[in-house]
């Protein structure tokens, strides 16, 4: 061990006395490690963003019919939805299903294409839905009687009527050949951002997209009957309860539809997407890191090159050392230490630069990337850079150690 | 008592075959402990090859070399390294100091390879440098020292580890008259102190200052005499 420290000291002395050259030799390793660390960190950050984003939706569960077992996926009825709502009780904020058809509405301003959302009363509080600012949402009674009522948003109201005092007004809705008068009973808020975005669309000459929300039972009168839905969304108050609620909801649905098979209902997993994206990101990151890793090998060859030059230059020194009693192993150790230290230092500088670059990218918010330093990547980079030094140092070191002392001393 | 150096019928042949060069052609030589010997000869006489053999830097093609009673003519590279480290102190014509180490670090080199600890090493090196009169220049790099001073550092390096033999290859070849005298005085002092000193040189003036002279011509020993006897004759 003591001897080993001597070789480390010899190596450090020599690196110190050739500062400029040592730095240039390190440069290849520095660039390689910096790029690997930065790239992996960016990849890491992107992946984390997506996974976080998808984890946020976790308090809403979507249960769908299992298309592998069920021939007609539309098997969740309005009764199922009401029953679920009652059974699940206070723990859920909303239980709703949604379907849509296309139609058009006519007002004094003209005729507009529209989406007709056919849904259930709880859709009022479903995920991502803005609160009502005027009037009320349709209720179970409206559903039962298939009342021709609808809810629109503020912007649509302004677009169609010029103001939002439209509760109690009628619009004429046409779906295929059926034409019905529909009463406006509620107005949803349009968020400021949404308002801004829509205004820009309009300014660009695009048509306003108009959405009505109506009790799904009106579909019978509209000529496109919706009797059941392929899926139901349940929003829990508490995220932690979501998976328990999902299980009991599936149980309830299964027991209500025993004729459909063993497990006709399954949970639609939002995580599937993030898992997939995560593994794609991992793949892309690994590939780009590999490309950057090639620069490490190039860096290693640079180290080898300089060490070979160094051996030639220091032939005389090697001769002196051997004459004074240095063994083959001592010379190999000295030169290997030197190349390992050079690439190890390059590695450390590279990691620091990579960390700084990562912090900089996050701070500047380039592309909204929140780069995240990856410790496994740092570990791998460190091990890799040291092994590069050792592997590419072996050849020059052996060459140095094999010099005959007489030959080496003879060179002036 | 067994001689310190005993060389028996040593041959060194380069390029064996048609163009072979017999650098050493049957040398027999014995050197006792405490002797002061000059090996002299013109360039190409084989004296440097002999010095390489005596210094365990090379092995003979045939013949035996007993150093301190051990046959060293058939040792491996690493074993030879050990022998050089323990038994021989080298002084070269071109000083052969390592440029980026200072005087005391240069003197410490053989001690490092002997495996001595840092403090012990430093103490020995400092003493050796004081002995050659360089106590005030320990931290100087070779480039900051004169030729004579550099050679004195080399002498300190050669004697620091207390090897039984000091082997000097043209030690004054690159030095002016004043430095030559300084170095010769130091070598004489070493001899007086009981060390075995062997000088390889082509300079008859140097040869006259030592006790015993071995003259090499064409790889053979031509003459082997004591200066005292010759002067007396």
Per-position DSSP letters for A242-302, written without gaps between them: HHHHHHHHHHHHHHHTGGG-S--EEEEPTHHHHHHHHHHHHHHHHHHHHHHHHHHHHHHHH
Report pLDDT digits (tens) over A309-335. Answer: 888 888 888 889 999 999 999 999 999
Do residues A232 and A62 make contact, with C-beta atoms less than 8 angstroms apart? yes
pLDDT mean over A93-113:
86
pLDDT value at A124 more than 60? yes
Report the b/e string of A321-351 with b at 16+ CB within 10 A: bbbbbbbbebbbbbbbbbbbbbbbbbbbbbb
pLDDT at A405: 85
Give how far the C-alpha of residue A276 lies from the chain's centroid of Cα atoms, to the nearest Å.
9
User: Would the CB atoms of A324 and B90 count as touching at under 8 Å?
Assistant: yes
Residue A4 sits at the chain B interface (C-beta within 8 Å) = no
Q: What is the pLDDT of residues B120-173, one digit of tens each?
A: 999 999 999 998 989 899 999 999 999 999 999 999 999 998 899 999 998 988
**B94 with A324: Cβ contact below 8 A:** no
Query: Measured between CA atoms, how close is B231 to chain A, in angstroms?
Result: 36
For chain A positions 291-350, those within 8 Å of chain B (CB to CB) are: 316-317, 319-330
Contact call for A321 and B97, based on CB within 8 A:
no
Query: Are A323 and B115 in contact (CB < 8 Å)?
Result: no
Residue A301: predicted pLDDT: 87
Percentage of chain A beyond pLDDT 90 is 10
- For the segment A371-383, the average pLDDT, to the nearest whole number, is 82
- Suggest the residue from A16, A316, A325 to mutate for an interface test with chain B (most B CBs closer than 10 A): A325
pLDDT digits (tens, 9 = 90+) for A49-72: 777 776 665 678 888 888 777 778
CA separation, residue A18 to residues A11, A22, A23, A299, B143 (Å): 11, 6, 9, 18, 16
Chain centroid, CA A112 distance in Å: 38
Please tell me the distance from the alpha carbon of residue B98 to that of residue B115, in angstroms, as a whole number: 19
Residue A406 has pLDDT above 80, yes or no: yes
Architecture of domain B5-232 in CATH? 3-Layer(aba) Sandwich (3.40)
Mean pLDDT, residues B49-70: 89
Residues of B in contact with A316 (CB under 8 A): 96
Q: What is the pLDDT of residue A56?
A: 62
Beta strands in A155-219 (DSSP E): 170-175, 178-188, 210-215
| Minimal C-alpha gap between B115 and chain A (Å) | 7
* Average pLDDT of the segment spanning B90-115: 90
Q: What is the predicted pLDDT for the residue at B75?
A: 86
Task: Identify the pLDDT of residue A271.
Answer: 54
Of A320, A325, A328, the CB nearest to B114: A325
d(CA A103, CA A229): 20
CA-based nearest distance A15→chain B, Å:
11
Instruction: Express each pLDDT in B11-30 by its tens digit.
Output: 999 888 888 888 899 999 99
Cβ neighbours around A371 below 10 Å, total: 26
Q: At what angle do helices A19-56 and A271-313 cross, to 10 degrees?
A: 180
- Report which of B111, B199, B84, B143 is spatially closest to residue A405, judged by C-alpha positions: B84
**Has residue A20 got a pLDDT over 70?**
yes
Higher pLDDT, B233 or B45: B45
| Domains of chain B, residue spans | 5-232
Q: Do A321 and B109 touch (CB under 8 A)?
A: yes
Rounded to whole angstroms, the Cα distance separating A390 from A301 reads 11
Indicate the DSSP class of residue A74.
-
Global ipTM: 0.91
Please give the Cα distance from B210 to B35 (Å, whole number). Answer: 9
Label the pairing between strands A265-268 and B212-217: unpaired
Between CA A209 and CA A152 the distance in angstroms is: 11
d(Cα A318, Cα B171) in Å, to the nearest integer? 20
Substitution target in A21, A323, A400, A410 with the highest count of B β-carbons within 10 Å is A323
Contact A325 B92 (CB under 8 A): no
């Amino acid at each position: 061990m003591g001897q080993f420290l001597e070789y480390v000291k010899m190596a450090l002395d020599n690196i110190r006395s050739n500062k400029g050259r040592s730095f240039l030799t390190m440069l290849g390793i520095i660039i390689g490690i910096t790029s690997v660390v930065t790239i992996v960190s960016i990849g890491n950050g992107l992946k984390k963003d997506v996974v976080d984003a998808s984890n946020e939706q976790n308090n809403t569960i979507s249960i769908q019919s299992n298309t592998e077992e069920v021939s007609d996926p539309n098997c969740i009825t309005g009764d199922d939805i009401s029953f679920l709502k009652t059974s699940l009780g206070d723990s859920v904020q909303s239980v709703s299903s949604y379907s849509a058809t296309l139609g058009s509405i006519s007002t004094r301003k003209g005729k507009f294409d529209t989406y007709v959302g056919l849904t259930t009363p709880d859709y009022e509080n479903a995920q991502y839905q803005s609160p009502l600012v005027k009037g009320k949402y349709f209720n179970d009674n409206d559903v039962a009687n298939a009342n021709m009522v609808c809810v629109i948003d503020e912007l649509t109201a302004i677009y169609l009527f010029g103001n939002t005092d439209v509760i109690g007004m009628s619009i004429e809705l046409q779906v295929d050949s059926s034409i019905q008068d529909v009463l406006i009973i509620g107005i949803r808020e349009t968020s400021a951002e949404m308002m801004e975005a829509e205004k820009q669309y309009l300014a660009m000459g695009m048509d306003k997209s108009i959405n009505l929300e109506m009790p799904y039972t009106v579909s019978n009168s509209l000529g496109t009957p919706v009797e059941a839905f392929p899926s139901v969304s349940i929003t829990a108050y508490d995220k932690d309860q979501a998976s328990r609620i999902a299980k009991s909801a599936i149980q309830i649905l299964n027991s209500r539809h025993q004729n459909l098979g063993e497990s006709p209902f399954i949970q639609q997993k939002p995580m599937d997407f993030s898992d997939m994206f995560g593994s794609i990101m991992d793949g892309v990151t690994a590939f780009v890191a590999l490309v950057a890793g090639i620069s490490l090998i190039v860096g290693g060859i640079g180290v080898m090159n300089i060490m070979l030059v160094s051996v030639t230059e220091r032939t005389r020194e090697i001769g002196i050392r051997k004459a004074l009693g240095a063994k083959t192993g001592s010379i190999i150790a000295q030169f290997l230490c030197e190349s390992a230290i050079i690439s190890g230092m390059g590695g450390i500088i590279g990691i620091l630069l990579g960390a700084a670059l990562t912090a900089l990218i996050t701070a500047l918010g380039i592309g909204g990337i929140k780069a995240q330093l990856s410790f496994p990547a740092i570990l791998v980079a460190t091990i890799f850079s040291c092994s590069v030094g050792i592997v590419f140092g072996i050849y020059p070191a052996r060459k140095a150690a094999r010099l005959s002392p007489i030959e080496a001393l003879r060179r002036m | 008592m067994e001689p310190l150096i005993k060389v028996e019928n040593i041959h060194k042949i380069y390029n064996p075959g048609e163009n072979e060069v017999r650098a050493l052609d049957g040398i027999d030589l014995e050197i006792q402990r405490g002797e002061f010997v000059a090996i002299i000869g013109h360039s190409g006489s084989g004296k440097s090859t002999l010095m390489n053999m005596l210094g365990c830097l090379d092995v003979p093609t045939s013949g035996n070399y007993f150093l301190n009673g051990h046959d060293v003519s058939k040792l491996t590279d690493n074993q030879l390294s050990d022998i050089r480290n323990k038994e021989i102190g080298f002084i070269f014509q071109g000083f052969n100091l390592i440029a980026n180490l200072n005087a005391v670090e240069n003197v410490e080199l053989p001690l490092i390879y002997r495996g001595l600890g840092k403090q012990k090493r430093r103490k020995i090196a400092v003493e050796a440098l004081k002995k050659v009169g360089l106590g005030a220049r320990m931290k100087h790099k070779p480039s900051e020292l004169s030729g004579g001073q550099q050679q004195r550092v080399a002498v300190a390096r050669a004697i620091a580890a207390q090897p039984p033999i000091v082997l000097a290859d043209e030690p004054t070849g690159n030095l002016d008259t004043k430095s030559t005298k300084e170095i010769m005085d130091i070598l004489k002092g070493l001899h007086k102190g009981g060390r075995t000193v062997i000088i390889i040189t082509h300079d008859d003036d140097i040869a006259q200052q030592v006790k015993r002279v071995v003259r090499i011509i064409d790889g053979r020993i031509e003459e082997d005499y004591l200066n005292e006897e010759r002067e007396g004759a």
